[in-house]
Amino acid sequence: MSELIQLDGLTVDFDGRFQLSNINWCIEPNQNWMITGTNGSGKSALAAVLAGVGDVVSGTQTGIPDRVSLVSYEAQGELIAAELKKDDADILDVISEGTPVQEIIDQVCQDQELASQLVKQFGLDALLDRSFRKLSTGETRKVLLVRALTSNPQLLVLDEPFDGLDANTHKMLAAHLSSIVGQIPMVLVLNRFDECPDFITHIAYLDSGELRHQVAREDDSAYAELYQLLHLKTGDVEVPDADPISDLPPLDPTQPLVRITNAKIQYGETVIFEDLSWTIETNQHWQLTGPNGSGKTGLLSLITGDHPQCYVNDIFVFGFQRGQGETIWQIKQYIGYVSTALQWEYRVSTSLRHVIISGFFDSIGLYSKYTDRQRDIANQWLEILGMRHRADDPFNKLSYGDQRLLLIARAMVKHPPLLILDEPCLGLDDINRQRILALIERICAGSETAVLYVNHHPEDKISGIDCYLALD
């Protein structure tokens, strides 16, 4: 391939079932790309576009070479379907054996020597005379790979090429792909970062049919963030259990979690808000909005007990009428809390694991002895975050986005009845916002925590929130 491939504002429709929208992408001749994303994000569709699949709705594509070899489940399925159709079309009253594997390979093969080498390496030599349609799924996949690799392509597009291959074959294929780097540009669709071969130079991340991120492999921090985003989106993990030892005193289910009556916050002569009443019931998810200075954070801190004027307001939280001899630790034990301010305050040099464990004690820094069980739970959270291998690293050396993720895990570690997220995406770039939201959605889906979410940006939506309070 000598030219660069360029997709400009390309929108492609796939039989009305799926659309790729507004794709802007450029593949330079010396680049090898990995396309990734969650299931249904459109990564296979984008790969297929390079092979001419789909109907262009708008935008332009230039530089796509004539000979593009595509290996994908779809292509595999089509080839099998074509073989079955041949069988149906056979009018002779004999049992059709179908096309033998050798012939299927020969249909496109441009390099007999390479073909016999690959056939041997893939362990296909005993199957050359077998009918293609009688092969197992893994075997047909290998045949397709041989066809693609020997057809002298100008661009090789491999959709999940390692999927379903045994370890030896996987290794062999990876080695072969490495050996042709520089001769044929490659685009690989891969679900997992740990399969990303060394020769990949760039990564494209798709979400909901949009090309959301393009990252150069050599950009270590962006690569790591993308890795984690994918991990959070796709990792097969459950929210860890709460710790039975630190079980919270049970709440009266007939009472709301929070009931604020005619509240007022005032500094000097300035009234921030007054006559504000609000009730949060168990399992309700709320979004709180309002312009800067409308008192959002003040209102939240009336609930958490961090606002001194909580003692002069009528506030009932978690069974306590405030100002009757309760301690703030009795209140805080029911709340998980994340905000930019908390992150600023969390300037203690402590390990990632200890930051999560500190959530059991509602402390900033860890000042209490913890149990093995609490440590294990913290490790499980680190696993979810994809940070298990960094458990003993210092918190203050983490990137801003990673710190935020960790603080959310800290807030959730005890499965609080109420999780307060005060602008959890503030100060984060797009990819980090998506990581945070992915984590929160996983948490919301997997627990009985009521979520109270403060946020300005309509695009930072969390599914499942259906109650709204707007301050003005």
Partner 1 sequence: MANYFNSLPLREQLEQLGKCRFMHLNEFTDDVNALKGKKMVVIGCGAQGLNQGLNLRDSGLDVSYTLRAEAIAQKRQSWKNATENGFTVGTYEELIPGADVVLNLTPDKQHTAVVTAIMPLMKQGACLSYSHGFNIVEEGMQIREDLTVIMVAPKCPGSEVRAEYVRGFGVPTLIAVHENNDPKGEGLALAKAYAVGTGGHKAGVLMSSFIAEVKSDLMGEQTILCGMLQTGSLLCFDKMIEEGVDAAYASKLIQYGWETVTEALKYGGVTNMMDRLSNPAKIKAFDLAAEMKDIMRPLYHKHQDDIMTGHFSATMMADWANDDAELLGWRADTAETAYEKTDAGDMEISEQEYFDNGILMVAMVKAGVELAFETMTSAGIIADSAYYESLHETPLIANTIARKKLYEMNATISDTAEYGCYLYNHACVPLLGDFMKDIKSDVIGRGLNLNDMSVDNARLIEVNREIRNHPVEDIGGELRGYMADMKRIV
Binding site for partner 1 (CB under 8 A): 266-268, 305-306, 308-312, 325-329, 345, 348-351, 354, 358, 361-369
- Work out how close the CB of 328 gets to partner 1 at its nearest, in angstroms, rounded to a whole number: 4
- Work out how close the CB of 370 gets to partner 1 at its nearest, in angstroms, rounded to a whole number: 8
Residue 286 or 370 with smaller CB distance to partner 1: 370
- Work out how close the CB of 338 gets to partner 1 at its nearest, in angstroms, rounded to a whole number: 16
**What six digits make up the tokens of 134?**
């009688």
Residue 284 or 379 with smaller CB distance to partner 1: 379
HSE, CB side, 13 Å, CA atoms: give it for residue 35: 30
Query: What's the CA gap between 21 and 284, in Å, rounded?
Result: 35
- Work out how close the CB of 270 gets to partner 1 at its nearest, in angstroms, rounded to a whole number: 11
Residue 250 or 308 with smaller CB distance to partner 1: 308
Residue 362 or 423 with smaller CB distance to partner 1: 362
* Of residues 45, 71, 243, 256, the one with CA closest to residue 151: 71
Query: What's the CA gap between 46 and 20, in Å, rounded?
Result: 7
- Work out how close the CB of 302 gets to partner 1 at its nearest, in angstroms, rounded to a whole number: 11
Residue 61 or 363 with smaller CB distance to partner 1: 363
- Work out how close the CB of 318 gets to partner 1 at its nearest, in angstroms, rounded to a whole number: 15
Residue 21 or 363 with smaller CB distance to partner 1: 363
* Of residues 435, 431, 384, the one with CA closest to residue 409: 384
- Work out how close the CB of 305 gets to partner 1 at its nearest, in angstroms, rounded to a whole number: 7
- Work out how close the CB of 297 gets to partner 1 at its nearest, in angstroms, rounded to a whole number: 15
- Work out how close the CB of 251 gets to partner 1 at its nearest, in angstroms, rounded to a whole number: 19
CA dihedral 416, 419, 420, 425 (to 10 degrees): 130
Residue 117 or 313 with smaller CB distance to partner 1: 313
Query: What's the CA gap between 295 and 301, in Å, rounded?
Result: 10
- Work out how close the CB of 278 gets to partner 1 at its nearest, in angstroms, rounded to a whole number: 19
Residue 80 or 348 with smaller CB distance to partner 1: 348
Residue 115 or 382 with smaller CB distance to partner 1: 382
What residues contact 211, with CB distance under 8 A and at least 6 apart? Answer: 23, 24, 25, 46, 204, 205
Q: How many CB atoms lie under 10 A from the CB of residue 399?
A: 14
Residue 152 or 266 with smaller CB distance to partner 1: 266
154 phi, psi to nearest 5 deg: -95, -15
